[in-house]
Amino acid sequence: MSSVKAFGAASSESDLAQLSIDRRDVQPNDVKIDILYCGVCHSDIHTVHNDWGGTKYPSVPGHEIIGRVTEVGNKVSNYKVGDLVGVGCLVDSCRTCASCQEDLEQYCENGMVPTYNGADKHLGGHTFGGYSETIVVDKDFVLKVPENIDPKAAAPLLCAGITTWSPLRHWNVKKGDKVGVIGLGGLGHMGVKFANALGARVVMITSSESKRETAKELGAHDVLISKNSDEMKKHANSFDFLLNTIPVKHDLNPYVGLLKRDATMCMVGAIEPLEPMHGGLVILKRRNIAGSLIGGIKETQEMLDFCGEHNIVCDIEMINMQDINEAYERVMKADVKYRFVIDMKSLKE
Amino acid sequence: MSSVKAFGAASSESDLAQLSIDRRDVQPNDVKIDILYCGVCHSDIHTVHNDWGGTKYPSVPGHEIIGRVTEVGNKVSNYKVGDLVGVGCLVDSCRTCASCQEDLEQYCENGMVPTYNGADKHLGGHTFGGYSETIVVDKDFVLKVPENIDPKAAAPLLCAGITTWSPLRHWNVKKGDKVGVIGLGGLGHMGVKFANALGARVVMITSSESKRETAKELGAHDVLISKNSDEMKKHANSFDFLLNTIPVKHDLNPYVGLLKRDATMCMVGAIEPLEPMHGGLVILKRRNIAGSLIGGIKETQEMLDFCGEHNIVCDIEMINMQDINEAYERVMKADVKYRFVIDMKSLKE
């Protein structure tokens, strides 16, 4: 066990500040990682503020981790010192339930272990995330990061990336499909890039006219302003798939009406109570409303490999660790294009 | 064109009473049917009362029609005088759109023609339903009814039956699946019978303890009282499919939590605004909330054939046409086991 520098919150009221946390010594199946970059996710903020309840303090968030391997356990053969690796939202799971057996560890029926705020079965207490110098993770939950992509801009792939990739693949988005991505933020901008790379005709659906040009630069073929009811009517019944990335309470009804018969809208952002839905919208066209949670380790690796092949990364703004509280303020105002990434060198200095 | 006796409402405020309607003369593709029985559906009441808006008066409801063929057009080869036939919720569609081409006329993209309150393209005005002596229907929208089942009890198969059959088949309910049927009424009791006949382990989910025994008699293997939170917890994450037949505004949240990962709850009753749903319930287990509308002609025929083979009919209470207003009162109080069927002989006398 070693003590390492980290940034976290002592309570739901406190700002994030430097503190010390313990990392376990490397076990036979472990990989020790020197953290280079860590993305800033909405979930970090929700956890720090205890918005979902259940936050254990001190809370060290961060689950979009990129780093270099500095040590491996004696049973680790697939990683070596110096490898560029990533760690996402989970660091362990039961490995025996149906979901784990199907490479869907994120849905582990005995409860996956989140990278932060989970039960730490090695040291007791709870897990600490990536806003820190190092992390020690079981090899089965470590990802290989292609060396040809910018590692800073790869960090948010570990959450924002896989969260949008997984549903696009699960619902089999393919060449020629008309796919709508609702909401242009950290998740939405990756949804546009991935759907485009998968060959779909991508429509960015946003309430904000000001995002029209940026959306097209990201790969949207068309932009639909959700406040414009004439435009919404023109697109009614026309989408093969909708990826809904809105992270707050909202009204699903206008979006559901955009779906073709038998098509699905998948929600990935709003772990929140929603506005009342009208049953007729699903009944009259046999439509589906679904949700999807991050992704499994195997498909996260597939996504990273795909990003390497297609040279896809996130659009980011770099910050120093000391700027984290201001960054949180800006994330909450959706004032970031599209993800903050912490340069962890700043913590180590 | 001939004038025939019918029962209908002159306005949304008026009780149903006898009136005269016009039926077209038999065209080359038409089948003329002497109506023997007609089921009483919730939709009849909603339409008569203009609950959904758009009701055209006089309104003659009825889309669970059983009768005998009395005349066929010169291009009709698949029906002959004397055949026992049925007519369900639709009497025409465009036949050219993608949905029609896929035998899903109920989702016709140019608008299917409902059996009542639709646009009558032969006589102008609007279509009149089965609360009448006779009906003339295009052969492609007429169903063959197996002679071995009780024709009275077969009437509600044309709506309550197909509405539950179609989603059970579409979501591939099969031997060994754990299927919940929510709500024990006209739709729910058929959902239980069909799911049982398809080999599923059927759980009736009802708020009413008093329905426990009846549900088992209908074929439920188990009964789950939705008000009992301990029982609900025991069944959490365990269902392969839920058929939600509740016909009114309700809270989906307790039911969604019963679904396994990746499983679907399909709504067939509530063409209504629902209570607010929590996004986390679909996101955290990749669950689906869907809807389904009656069924296509081909699958309605398949259902009727299946009913013939398995000797499945509805549980009904017979009424005379003159008792319709009282029957409506009782349907609205859910005081019927489980469907009223009008003996149309009473109208003709």
Does the structure show a pLDDT above 90 at B248?
A: no
**Test the B interface: residue of A105, A240, A289 with most B CBs within 10 Å:** A289
Low-confidence ranges of chain A (pLDDT < 70): none
Q: Which of A170, A275, A279 sits opposite B272 (nearest CB)?
A: A279
Q: What is the Cα–Cα distance from A214 to A191, expressed in whole angstroms?
A: 14
**Test the A interface: residue of B103, B172, B246, B286 with most A CBs within 10 Å:** B286
Residue A166 main-chain phi, psi, to 5 deg? -55, -50
Residue B74 neighbours by CB distance under 10 Å: 10
Using a CB-CB distance cutoff of 8 angstroms, which residues of chain A are in contact with residue B269?
279
Q: What is the Cα–Cα distance from A85 to A107, expressed in whole angstroms?
A: 23
pLDDT, tens digit, 9 for 90 and up, residues B71-109: 999 999 999 999 999 999 999 999 999 999 999 999 999
State how far residue A57 is from chain B, nearest Cα, in angstroms.
23
| Cis omega (within 30 of 0) for bond into A58 | yes
Q: What is the pLDDT of residue A93?
A: 97
Q: What is the pLDDT of residue B349?
A: 76
Using a CB-CB distance cutoff of 8 angstroms, which residues of chain B are in contact with residue A279?
267, 269-274, 291
The region, left, alpha or beta by phi > 0 then psi within -120 to 50, assigned to residue B95 is: left
Residues A280, B272: C-beta atoms closer than 8 Å = yes
Q: What is the pLDDT of residue B10?
A: 94
Q: What is the pLDDT of residue A334?
A: 86
**Test the A interface: residue of B42, B172, B238, B282 with most A CBs within 10 Å:** B282
pLDDT, tens digit, 9 for 90 and up, residues B203-247: 999 998 888 999 999 999 999 999 999 999 999 999 999 999 998
Average pLDDT, chain B: 96
Q: What is the Cα–Cα distance from B51 to B54, expressed in whole angstroms?
A: 9
Cα–Cα separations (whole angstroms), residue B192 to B41, B159, B210: 18, 15, 17
Reported confidence tier of residue B54, pLDDT bands at 50, 70, 90: very high
Q: What is the pLDDT of residue A223?
A: 97
Using a CB-CB distance cutoff of 8 angstroms, which residues of chain B are in contact with residue A282?
267, 289-291
* ipTM value greater than 0.90: yes
Asked if A337 and A160 count as a contact pair (C-beta separation under 8 A), the reply is no
Q: Which of B109, B279, B291 sits opposite A283 (nearest CB)?
A: B291
Which residue in A273, A251, B273, A216 sits closest to A265, CA to CA? A251
Q: Which of B237, B261, B271 sits opposite A283 (nearest CB)?
A: B271
Q: What is the pLDDT of residue B91?
A: 98
Asked if B217 and B240 count as a contact pair (C-beta separation under 8 A), the reply is no
Using a CB-CB distance cutoff of 8 angstroms, which residues of chain A are in contact with residue B278?
272-274
Q: What is the pLDDT of residue B348?
A: 84
Question: Is any Cβ of chain A less than 8 angstroms from the Cβ of B237?
Answer: yes
Output DSSP code: residue A277. Answer: P
Structure token pair of residue B309: 């083979």
Q: What is the Cα–Cα distance from B308 to B161, expressed in whole angstroms?
A: 13
Question: Is any Cβ of chain A less than 8 angstroms from the Cβ of B159?
Answer: no
Residues A237, B284: C-beta atoms closer than 8 Å = no
Helix (H, G, I), strand (E, B) or coil at B114: strand
Residues B278, A274: C-beta atoms closer than 8 Å = yes
Question: Is any Cβ of chain B less than 8 angstroms from the Cβ of A283?
Answer: yes
Asked if A108 and A100 count as a contact pair (C-beta separation under 8 A), the reply is yes
Report, as an integer, the average pLDDT of B143-147.
97
Reported confidence tier of residue B141, pLDDT bands at 50, 70, 90: very high
Which residue in B56, B116, B46 sits closest to B270, CA to CA? B46
Q: Which of B270, B281, B290 sits opposite A288 (nearest CB)?
A: B290
Q: What is the pLDDT of residue B300?
A: 98
Asked if B63 and B158 count as a contact pair (C-beta separation under 8 A), the reply is yes
Q: What is the pLDDT of residue A74?
A: 97
Asked if B137 and B73 count as a contact pair (C-beta separation under 8 A), the reply is no
Using CB atoms and an 8 Å cut-off, which of residues 162-191 of chain B contact chain A?
A: 170
Class of residue A101 by CB neighbours under 10 A (exposed 0-12, middle 13-18, buried 19+): exposed
Reported confidence tier of residue B52, pLDDT bands at 50, 70, 90: confident
β B143-144/B84-87 pair status = antiparallel
Q: What is the pLDDT of residue A272?
A: 85
Class of residue A28 by CB neighbours under 10 A (exposed 0-12, middle 13-18, buried 19+): exposed
Chain A residue with CA closest to B268: the answer is A283
Residues A291, B279: C-beta atoms closer than 8 Å = yes
Class of residue B231 by CB neighbours under 10 A (exposed 0-12, middle 13-18, buried 19+): middle
Using CB atoms and an 8 Å cut-off, which of residues 261-280 of chain B contact chain A?
A: 261, 264, 267-280
Chain A residue with CA closest to B107: the answer is A285
Using a CB-CB distance cutoff of 8 angstroms, which residues of chain B are in contact with residue A285?
107, 291, 293
Asked if A256 and A237 count as a contact pair (C-beta separation under 8 A), the reply is no
pLDDT, tens digit, 9 for 90 and up, residues B275-320: 889 999 999 999 999 999 999 999 999 999 999 999 999 999 999 9
State how far residue A263 is from chain B, nearest Cα, in angstroms.
10
Q: What is the pLDDT of residue B267?
A: 97
| Domains of chain A listed by start with CATH number | 2-158+314-348 (3.90.180.10), 161-291 (3.40.50.720)
Structure token pair of residue A246: 């809105």
Structure token pair of residue A292: 């999807």
Reported confidence tier of residue B250, pLDDT bands at 50, 70, 90: very high
State how far residue B282 is from chain A, nearest Cα, in angstroms.
5
Q: What is the Cα–Cα distance from B334 to B108, expressed in whole angstroms?
A: 31
